[in-house]
Amino acid sequence: MHGDFGHVEEGSLGRVADIQLLRRLLPFLNPWKHLLAAAVVLSIVLTVLDLALPYITKETIDRYIVPNREDACAGISDGIRRLAVDPSRAGAADILRRHPDIWVAEGDRACVAFDRLGELSTEETRVLRGADLSGVARMSLLFLGLILLDFLFNFLQQFTMEVAAQRIMHDLRMTLMDHLMSLGMAFFNRNPVGRLVTRVTSDIQNMDELFTSVVVFVFKDVFLLTGIALMLLVIQWKLALISFAVLPLVVYISIRFSRRAREAFRTLRVKTAEINSRFSETVSGIRVIQLFRSEAAQYRRFARINHEYYEAGMQQLHVFALFMPAIEVLGMTATALIVFSGGRDVLSGWITIGELVAFLSYIKMFFRPIRDIAEKYNILQNAMSSAERLFQILDTHEGKLDTQGIRLERPIERIDFDGVWFAYQPDEWVLKDVSFSLPKGRVLAVVGATGSGKTTLIHLLVRLYEPHSGTIRINGMPLQQWSPESVRRRIALVSQDPFLFSESLRKNLLHGIEPIPDERLWDILDAAQCRTLAENLPHGLDTVLSEGGLSISSGERQLLSIARAFARNADLIILDEATSYVDAHTEKRIQTAIENLLKDRTAIVIAHRLATARSADHILVMGAGRIIEEGNHETLMAKEGVYYRMHQIGED
């Protein structure tokens, strides 16, 4: 049999805008938009809480710790900062009488100079500043309450976002799996298992990080940046403009970073898929590798790919090793400018100490979301590289069948091939003008040399591939007009190398069909000559087989494959006879099982043993993609042509 030779390397992608990829993700977000909206609302609440904390600090300092001169004893214009004291407060009058030189009267209040408070004892100071201490306590409780609220809303946001992300990823993974299952064999011949595993696992996980770490948190960071900028302008617009002086450099560095990061992440995604593919292929062929002592060669091939992945990772690290410190330096530069200018303004009396402290807190907060956005951009670029690869698969329709069509409700009465041509590779024809008919209840054997196109006939009949020209008909109607599901439901395939899933024996026998009673299953196992095999398994029908059925022999796998065909009770049996060697006893059991399976059934047998073809009603002899002889055994032997010579060679 010919096929698509080898895997194709994963091609480089053209430049795809992030906004285009995000727009394509919207259908997966829409079912869970209520959760995303809730997370955004919670982000706004968290932004307000974060902005409130420095402002509370400012108010605490300016009102209660170091009150502004305009707020206390404003009627005294001697330039001395004073503390307003209510003489009716317990103990205050006695203190004022003992120290008459430290205060002056303003209405019903006593205004004590701050620089004279040092002359009082600690207890006397506590009495005079009792109102301030109460205010500090109230503001501290408010601060603590906001922190608790921040914790609560952070928890709610994280939980909401995780739930939404998990559901989105579940839908995306199922969509990808459904699409992969619908693609034709040509796609899987060109894409190694490891590459597809990478798409369904790590690439989907990267998308999960996009939604849990980027989407809503970017909203939060944008809200926070906007809010901080407004607060800075409200507190002191001149200082705000000084701190904004570094922003052009931040924008320039971010643009340079984004361009280099995208390519680094693209390379990483490709190399990850190559590593998975190479490792999967090595593990699958480990027996051959060890038998031919090629461990060293396989190690070198893996080492080369692994080193390429290392170099791509180092390229990514170089980008971030430059970007993150640069943002930190710019943030510290802005802080230094504020300390210099703000400190001078405090000394000049233009701003209060509380305003400077709040300003420094806001500046520190201002560069935190910028740094966070850079980190989230890291995740975004990784996710966008994964999204490109995911949508590359979702945009592939190679060999995808139209699932629509007329349901085949009645039994298969007749199969016709009419002038069928097919090639796996352009202009390399595997089938050339093949025509034959198979009525109900007849057994058709197909023989020929390896590569003559025998198995390809089966691939076309079950629509793993589509013919390039000619027509295949079932019950007189073109195969493409029947729904693939209804046609395949009426066909049972016994392949050369039966594949068994890592499930129980029962589930392997009933794969793709409705459950049937155990009594019927044991009858099937009897007919397929493998009842003894099932009885000897540790848990009988419920014994879980290893992946591919490697825990049992190849002959036993063939018998179970025949039993699986029995269980389907199909109209058409397709038997691609195994070429692997089995012992004489197992060979006899397989032959008996095949005879039982083909009895009174329509069948196509790809015969590698001429003894199997001998009993067929009609035999096709294939050569170089064409039917070179046909007839029953006696007719073909009488012709003394290709079939006769094959038979003579077989006897020799």
What confidence tens digit (pLDDT) does each residue in 43-89 have? 889 889 999 999 999 888 888 887 764 455 666 666 677 777 778 77
- Tell me if 197 sits within 8 A of 281, measured CB to CB: no
In whole angstroms, give the CA distance from residue 117 to residue 650.
Answer: 118
Residue 519: Cβ-neighbour burial (10 angstroms; 0-12, 13-18, 19+): exposed
Is residue 30 located within the same domain as residue 94?
no
The pTM is what?
A: 0.66
pLDDT over threshold 70, residue 3:
no
- Residue 483: inside a domain, yes or no? no
CATH code: domain of residue 377 = 1.20.1560.10
SS3 assignment, position 438: strand
- Residue 420: inside a domain, yes or no? no
Is residue 254 located within the same domain as residue 309?
yes
At residue 470, the pLDDT reads 92
Q: Residue 309's pLDDT band (boundaries 50, 70, 90)? A: confident
Domain endpoint, select from 357, 379, 394: 394
Domain that holds residue 209: 20-63+134-394
Is residue 240 located within the same domain as residue 350?
yes
Residue 86 phi, psi (nearest 5)? -85, 110
pLDDT over threshold 50, residue 590:
yes
Could you tell me the CA-to-CA distances from 41 to 44, 45, 145, 156 in Å, in that order?
Answer: 5, 6, 20, 11
Is residue 108 located within the same domain as residue 142?
no
Q: Tally Cβ neighbours within 10 Å of residue 147.
A: 12
Is residue 114 located within the same domain as residue 251?
no
pLDDT over threshold 50, residue 552:
yes
Q: Residue 6's pLDDT band (boundaries 50, 70, 90)? A: very low
Q: Tally Cβ neighbours within 10 Å of residue 425.
A: 11
pLDDT digits (tens, 9 = 90+) for 92-129: 888 888 888 887 777 777 888 877 777 788 788 788 78
Exposure string for 357-377, b = 16+ CB within 10 A, e = fewer: bbbbbbbbbbbbbbebbbbbb
| Cα 308 off chain centre by | 23
At residue 581, the pLDDT reads 60
At residue 446, the pLDDT reads 92
Is residue 187 located within the same domain as residue 227?
yes
- Residue 441: inside a domain, yes or no? no
At residue 262, the pLDDT reads 65
In whole angstroms, give the CA distance from residue 421 to residue 408.
Answer: 25
Q: Residue 612's pLDDT band (boundaries 50, 70, 90)? A: confident
Q: Tally Cβ neighbours within 10 Å of residue 115.
A: 11
Beta strands in 59-188 (DSSP E): 82-85, 103-106, 109-113
Domain endpoint, select from 365, 394, 423: 394
| Cα 109 off chain centre by | 70
In whole angstroms, give the CA distance from residue 563 to residue 27.
Answer: 44
At residue 471, the pLDDT reads 93
Residue 437 phi, psi (nearest 5)? -130, 150
- Residue 552: inside a domain, yes or no? no
pLDDT digits (tens, 9 = 90+) for 185-209: 778 777 777 778 878 888 888 888 7
In whole angstroms, give the CA distance from residue 534 to residue 377.
Answer: 56
pLDDT digits (tens, 9 = 90+) for 144-161: 999 999 999 989 988 998
Under DSSP, the state recorded for 544 is B
Is residue 74 located within the same domain as residue 138?
no
Total of domains in the chain: 2
pLDDT over threshold 70, residue 582:
no
Q: Give the range with max mean pLDDT: 216-220, 378-382, 569-573, 610-614.
A: 569-573
For the chain, report the end-to-end CA distance as a whole number of angstroms. 25
- Residue 24: inside a domain, yes or no? yes
Percent of the chain predicted with pLDDT > 70? 90
Let me know the angle formed at the C-alpha of 398 by 392 and 400, rounded to the nearest 5 degrees: 110
Residue among 98, 76, 72 at smallest CA distance from 85? 72
At residue 2, the pLDDT reads 46
Is residue 76 located within the same domain as residue 48?
no
In whole angstroms, give the CA distance from residue 367 to residue 332.
Answer: 9
- Find the farthest-apart pair of alpha carbons in the chain and give their distance in angstroms, rounded: 140
Residue among 651, 645, 640, 642 at smallest CA distance from 620? 642
Q: Give the range with max mean pLDDT: 167-171, 274-278, 545-549.
A: 167-171
Is residue 93 located within the same domain as residue 238?
no
Percent of the chain predicted with pLDDT > 90? 11
Is residue 59 located within the same domain as residue 79?
no
- Residue 240: inside a domain, yes or no? yes
At residue 373, the pLDDT reads 65
- Residue 585: inside a domain, yes or no? no
Sign of CA dihedral 537, 538, 539, 543: negative
pLDDT over threshold 70, residue 327:
yes
The mean pLDDT value of the chain amounts to 81
Is residue 264 located within the same domain as residue 352?
yes
Exposure string for 335-349, b = 16+ CB within 10 A, e = fewer: bebbeebbeebbeee
Is residue 290 located within the same domain as residue 147?
yes
Domain endpoint, select from 372, 394, 416: 394
- Residue 77: inside a domain, yes or no? yes
Residue among 261, 279, 272 at smallest CA distance from 202? 272
pLDDT digits (tens, 9 = 90+) for 435-467: 999 999 899 999 988 888 888 898 889 888 889
pLDDT digits (tens, 9 = 90+) for 79-95: 677 777 778 777 888 88
